[in-house]
Amino acid sequence: MRMRKKSELPHKLCQHCSRPFAWRKKWERDWEQVRYCSDRCRSAGPAKTGGSA
């Protein structure tokens, strides 16, 4: 397997912080189910939009 530049890897947006993150080897088997960029965002859950005023 040849080495790839990070810019060549697939990217997604984190559902909590909306920051882009790139594919990682540890997510190879379940890339389709990965939704968060980090454990911190995963534990916080989905971002809450709107709110009561």
Strand partners, 13: 20
Structural domain includes residue 53:
no
Distance CA 49, CA 47 (A): 6
Boundaries of domain holding 37:
9-42
Distances (CA, A) of 28 to 9, 15, 34, 52: 12, 19, 10, 40
pTM over 0.75: no
Structural domain includes residue 50:
no
Structural domain includes residue 47:
no
Q: What is the pLDDT of residue 49?
A: 61
Structural domain includes residue 38:
yes
Distance CA 32, CA 40 (A): 19
Q: What is the pLDDT of residue 52?
A: 55
Counting Cα atoms < 13 Å in the Cβ hemisphere of 22 gives 8
1-53 pLDDT, tens digit each: 677 787 888 999 999 999 999 999 999 899 999 999 999 999 987 776 655 54
CB 27 within 8 A of CB 38: no
Structural domain includes residue 52:
no
Q: What is the pLDDT of residue 5?
A: 83
